[in-house]
C-alpha cells in the first residue's frame, strides 16, 4: 500500500490474473463453517493453532476455525472454537447529511503521518494531511500543496515550489520547512517507519541512509532542504527517473514539530491522551483511545479534519474550511466504518448504510447476477501482488528444494475458480504485476507452475517422504477479507503433497507488529531475527506505490528492505537492483529487473506469487469516485448523488 502493505487478499475485493487446471473444491457451510473437500486425495485438514495469544472463545464445537491472535500472552495452543459473534455495527443513518460512508477492514494502526506504513492507516492519513502532489484516477499527477517542480540538467536535484497562502486548520502557515521536517521525522530510527528505505535506498536522497541508520544524528545532512518558505530542494546521489512519481506519495507529508515536541507524536494531542513516546502508536498501546478531542486540537493541512475516533467502530472527518482548495471539496463529512467482514459490508451496502463496499467471495455469482448490484460493480486498475514468502532461516523452509515443493503444490487456478469464485481472472506466476515495466507473466519459465508430482519430487530432494515427513510448517496470515477461505485452501493443497501445515491468523495490526518484530536488523524497532521466529510461511500483499519495478522488487524484496521478513541474502540480487536503479536506458533497466525477478522466484525461491491485484468494489449509483492506480484515494475528489 501508495497503499503499501495490504490487509486483505482482496483488499476492497482485490482479484487475480493467469491460468492452470483445477482440482480443489470449496464447500461453504452457512456463513460460519468452511469445509475443505479435496478431490482424489485424502489430505487432512491443516492443523489450526493460536500463537502468542489470549483465547477469546470458550464453547467448543465440531467446526474448526482459524482463531484470533493477540499479543498479550505468549503461548501456543491448539483449539476448536466457536467464532466470536458478528459485532453489531452502529447504523450510519444518524450520520449527518452530505456524508460519504466508507468501510475499513480494521482500525488504522496509527494516524501519525510519519508512522503510517499500512494501507488502512494510509487511507485515513491521506485525507488529513496534504502532500506535494496528488494522483488522480486516470494515473495523472496533479499539483496539490506544490504548484510544480524543476529538475537539474544532471537529474540529481529537484526544486519544488509550494503554493502561496496555505494554512493549517489552526491558522499556522504551511511552509517548506514542515515538509523537510516530515521527511526527517519519517527517516528517524526511533519512528521505525519501513518507508525510510524508499527514500534512503531506492530514491537515494543524499544523506538519508546514514541518518536513517543512526550513523549520523543531524538531519541537516539529508538532501531535503527548505530554501525559503515556499521552496523545497531535494538532492539525490544519482539520477532517479521515477522520483516525480514519488512526489505524489505520502512519504512527502508535512510535520508540525511544535505538536510533536509536546506529545511525541503528530497523531495525538495533549488534550486527548497522555503523551506517547516517539515510537509509540496505536498497536503499542491498543487500550488507549486514539483520539476523541475537539477538532481544533489536531491541526490539519489537508481537505478534512478529524472529529472523532471510536476504535473498533468508526472514524469521523469533516471538511477543513482552511484547506486551500476547500471550495472544490464536494463532500462535507466522511464516516469511516470499521467493518472487517466482507459479508457484513455487503449487508450494510444493500441496506443503504454504506455507499462503498467489499463483498465475500461466495457472493460473487449473486452480485454478478443481480440487476442492481451488477451495475454498481466496479473493476479498477490496481497494480500489485499477493504472495506467500518463506522464512529462509528455519527448518524446513531454509531448504530451497522444500520451497520449490511449496511453490509447485499451490493450484492458483483452483483458488480463483473455487475459492474466490472469480474465474474470469488468471493466476500470477510473477511478482511484477501487469502494467508495470518488466512484467513477464506470459513467460512460463518464470516461477513454478502447479505440479503436485514435481512438488513431491522436490520434497524427496529436500530429504522428505511419507516415512520421513517434514515438520509442520507455520503459515501466518491476517484474517481480514477472504483470507481464511484462501489459506485454508492453500493449507489443504500443501497437506495433499505431504507438507503438514499449521495455520496461524491474527488481526491486521497484530499481524504486522508480529512480523515487524521478526525483521532485525532491517527494522530499527525489530525485536528478533527471522531465525528466532516460528513462521515458515507468511502472507503479504503489496500494492504498488508508483509505476516502476523498483517499487516492489527493491522496496519489498531487497535483502536490505524493512518490509522483507525472509532473512534471505543475495549479493547478486542486490547488485542487479543497484545497477537497475542507476541505469538511465529504460530497455536495459527493464532487462535488469527481469533478471532480478527470475533470481528471486526461480533460484532463491523466496516467494510464491498468488495473485495480481485489481480492485473490485461496489459503489452506489450516483457516487462519483476517483480511485488512483497507485496509492490511496483522495476522497476530496469524490461527489455524492444529489440529495444524499
Q: What domains lie within the chain, and their CATH numbers?
A: 4-84+384-615 (3.10.105.10), 119-260 (3.90.76.10)
Could you tell me the three cell numbers for 323?
A: 484547506
Per-residue model confidence (pLDDT) at position 161? 99
Give every CB contact of residue 442 below 8 A, 6+ residues apart in sequence: none
Assess contact for 55 and 106: CB atoms under 8 A.
no
HSE-up of residue 375 (Cα within 13 Å, Cβ side): 6
Whether the bond between 306 and the residue before it is cis, its omega within 30 degrees of 0, is no
Q: How far from each other are the two terminal CA atoms of the chain, in whole angstroms?
A: 30
**Measured between alpha carbons, how far is residue 525 from residues 177, 189, 502, 536 in Å?**
27, 8, 27, 22
Phi/psi for 516 (5° steps) reads: -60, -30
Assess contact for 577 and 431: CB atoms under 8 A.
no
User: What is the distance between the alpha carbons of residues 20 and 426, in angstroms, rounded to a whole number?
Assistant: 8
- Extended strands (E) in 130-281: 133-135, 141-143, 146-151, 157-162, 224-228, 231-235
Q: What is the largest CA-CA distance in the chain?
A: 74
Per-residue model confidence (pLDDT) at position 613? 84
- For residue 163, what is the enclosing H or E element? none
Q: Is the dihedral of CA 258, 263, 266, 270 positive or negative?
A: negative
Assess contact for 356 and 626: CB atoms under 8 A.
no
Burial degree of 340 (CB within 10 A; 0-12, 13-18, 19+):
buried
* 87-115 pLDDT per residue, tens: 323 334 456 779 999 999 999 999 999 99
Q: Is the dihedral of CA 595, 600, 604, 608 positive or negative?
A: negative
* Residue of 608, 492, 497, 498 lying closest to 25 (CA atoms): 492
pLDDT-flagged residues of the chain (< 50): 1-3, 9-93, 268-296
Per-residue model confidence (pLDDT) at position 148? 97
* Residue of 90, 643, 13, 91 lying closest to 353 (CA atoms): 91
Assess contact for 23 and 412: CB atoms under 8 A.
no
Per-residue model confidence (pLDDT) at position 67? 36
User: What is the distance between the alpha carbons of residues 281 and 510, in angstroms, rounded to a whole number?
Assistant: 12
Per-residue model confidence (pLDDT) at position 265? 59
Strand 133-135, strand 141-143: pairing:
antiparallel
Give CA torsion, residues 165, 167, 171, 175, to 10 deg.
Answer: -90
- Extended strands (E) in 113-248: 133-135, 141-143, 146-151, 157-162, 224-228, 231-235
Per-residue model confidence (pLDDT) at position 264? 57
Per-residue model confidence (pLDDT) at position 46? 45
Amino acid at each position: 500500500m501508495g497503499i503499501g502493505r495490504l490487509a486483505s487478499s482482496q483488499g476492497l475485493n482485490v482479484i487475480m490474473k493467469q491460468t492452470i487446471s483445477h482440482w480443489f473444491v470449496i464447500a461453504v457451510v452457512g456463513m460460519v463453517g468452511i469445509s475443505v473437500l479435496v478431490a482424489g486425495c485424502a489430505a487432512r485438514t491443516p492443523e489450526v493453532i493460536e500463537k502468542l495469544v489470549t483465547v477469546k472463545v470458550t464453547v467448543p464445537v465440531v467446526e474448526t476455525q482459524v482463531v484470533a491472535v493477540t499479543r498479550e500472552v505468549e503461548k501456543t495452543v491448539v483449539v476448536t472454537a466457536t467464532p466470536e459473534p458478528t459485532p453489531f455495527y452502529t447504523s450510519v443513518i444518524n450520520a449527518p447529511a452530505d456524508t460519504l460512508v466508507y468501510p475499513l477492514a480494521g482500525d488504522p494502526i496509527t494516524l501519525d503521518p510519519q508512522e503510517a506504513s499500512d494501507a488502512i492507516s494510509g487511507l485515513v492519513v491521506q485525507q488529513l494531511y496534504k502532500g506535494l502532489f496528488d494522483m488522480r484516477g486516470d494515473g495523472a499527477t496533479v499539483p496539490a500543496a506544490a504548484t510544480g517542480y524543476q529538475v537539474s540538467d544532471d537529474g540529481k536535484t529537484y526544486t519544488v515550489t509550494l503554493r502561496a497562502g496555505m494554512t493549517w486548520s489552526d491558522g499556522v502557515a504551511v511552509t517548506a520547512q514542515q515538509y523537510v521536517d516530515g521527511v526527517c521525522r519519517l527517516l528517524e530510527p526511533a519512528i521505525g517507519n519501513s518507508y525510510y528505505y524508499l527514500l534512503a535506498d531506492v530514491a537515494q536522497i543524499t544523506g538519508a541512509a546514514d541518518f536513517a541508520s543512526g550513523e549520523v544524528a543531524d538531519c541537516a545532512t539529508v538532501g531535503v532542504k527548505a530554501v525559503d518558505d515556499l521552496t523545497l530542494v531535494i538532492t539525490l546521489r544519482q539520477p532517479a527517473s521515477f522520483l516525480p512519481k514519488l512526489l505524489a506519495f505520502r512519504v512527502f507529508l508535512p510535520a508540525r514539530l511544535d505538536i510533536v515536541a509536546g506529545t511525541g507524536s503528530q497523531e495525538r494531542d495533549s488534550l486527548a491522551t497522555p503523551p506517547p513516546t516517539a515510537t509509540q502508536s496505536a498497536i503499542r498501546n491498543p487500550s488507549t483511545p486514539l483520539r476523541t478531542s475537539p477538532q481544533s486540537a489536531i491541526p490539519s493541512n489537508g481537505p478534512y479534519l478529524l472529529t472523532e475516533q471510536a476504535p473498533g467502530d468508526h472514524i469521523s472527518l469533516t471538511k477543513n474550511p482552511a484547506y486551500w482548495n476547500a471550495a472544490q471539496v464536494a463532500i462535507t463529512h466522511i464516516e469511516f466504518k470499521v467493518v472487517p467482514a466482507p459479508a457484513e459490508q455487503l449487508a450494510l451496502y444493500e441496506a443503504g448504510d454504506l455507499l462503498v463496499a467489499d463483498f465475500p467471495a461466495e457472493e460473487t455469482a449473486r452480485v454478478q447476477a443481480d440487476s442492481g448490484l451488477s451495475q454498481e460493480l466496479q473493476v479498477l486498475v490496481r497494480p500489485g501482488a499477493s504472495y506467500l514468502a518463506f522464512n529462509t532461516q528455519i527448518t524446513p523452509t531454509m531448504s530451497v528444494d522444500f520451497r520449490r515443493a511449496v511453490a509447485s503444490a499451490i493450484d492458483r487456478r483452483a483458488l480463483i475458480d473455487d475459492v474466490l469464485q472469480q474465474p474470469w481472472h488468471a493466476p500470477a506466476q510473477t511478482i511484477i504485476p501487469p502494467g508495470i515495466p518488466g512484467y513477464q507473466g506470459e513467460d512460463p519459465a518464470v516461477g513454478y507452475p502447479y505440479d503436485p508430482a514435481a512438488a513431491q519430487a522436490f520434497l524427496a530432494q529436500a530429504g522428505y517422504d511419507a516415512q520421513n515427513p517434514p515438520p509442520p510448517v507455520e503459515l501466518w496470515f491476517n484474517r481480514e477479507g477472504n483470507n481464511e477461505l484462501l489459506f485454508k485452501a492453500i493449507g489443504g493443497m500443501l497437506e495433499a503433497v505431504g507438507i503438514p501445515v499449521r495455520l496461524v491468523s491474527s488481526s491486521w495490526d497484530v499481524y504486522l507488529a508480529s512480523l515487524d518484530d521478526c525483521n532485525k536488523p532491517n527494522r530499527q524497532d525489530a525485536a528478533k531475527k527471522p531465525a528466532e521466529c516460528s513462521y515458515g510461511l507468511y502472507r503479504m500483499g503489496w500494492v504498488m506505490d508508483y509505476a516502476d519495478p523498483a517499487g516492489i522488487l527493491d522496496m519489498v524484496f531487497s535483502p536490505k528492505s524493512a518490509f522483507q521478513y525472509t532473512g534471505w541474502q543475495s549479493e547478486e540480487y542486490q547488485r542487479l537492483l543497484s545497477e537497475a536503479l542507476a541505469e538511465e536506458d529504460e530497455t536495459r533497466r527493464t532487462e535488469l529487473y527481469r533478471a532480478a525477478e527470475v533470481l528471486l522466484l526461480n533460484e532463491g525461491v523466496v516467494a510464491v506469487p498468488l495473485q495480481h491485484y485489481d480492485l473490485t468494489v461496489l459503489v452506489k449509483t450516483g457516487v462519483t469516485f476517483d480511485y488512483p492506480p497507485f496509492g490511496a484515494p483522495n476522497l476530496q475528489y469524490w461527489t455524492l448523488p444529489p440529495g444524499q
